[in-house]
Amino acid sequence: MRKSTLRKGTVAALLTGSVLLLSAVPALAEPGSSGSSGSLGSMGSISSGSAVLPIPSPAGLVALAAATTQTGKPYQWGGNGPNSWDCSGLTQWAFRQAGVWIPRTSQEQANAGQAVPLWALAIGDIITFYPGATHVGIYAGGGMVFNAYGTGVPTGLTPLADLPINNIRRF
């Protein structure tokens, strides 16, 4: 097996929960040293320059997969399934399938979980829309949101560009 080494200025990644934090670390092993087997060992603390990266949460991926099983079902205000859904009923149910309890309404969902900046949006994140967070969906990637959109529109994908983002949350 080939030995690997980290040099000065190398960026080491630490996965903490569902958020990837990056921090520049000093050399753990210099070229030619007799040491590293690739393990990062004890890293100490994360620097103040840490950043959230667009790494999907496992729960978000499971929730998106669950939500897609509801494709084509009708929208109904207050709908909790299984035959029809409203936007927040669908997201709550989908995350429950992933073992995560989230609040019932889109406004409550807008304040739960971890805040995520737009540049770190990842598949499985919940996005609330419009002032007042009156709509919610799950980011499906490729600029698409999976959601129960409204009367006459079956549950499915909507272009993210068609919806004004209020905020993004990760669970």
Which residues are the active-site residues?
Answer: 87, 135, 147
- The span from the CA of 141 to the CA of 91, in Å, is 16
Q: What is the DSSP letter of 10?
A: P
The tokens describing 119, both together, are: 């540049």
Q: Where are the alpha helices (DSSP H) in 36-79?
A: 58-68
- What is the residue whose two structure tokens read 């890293």? 43
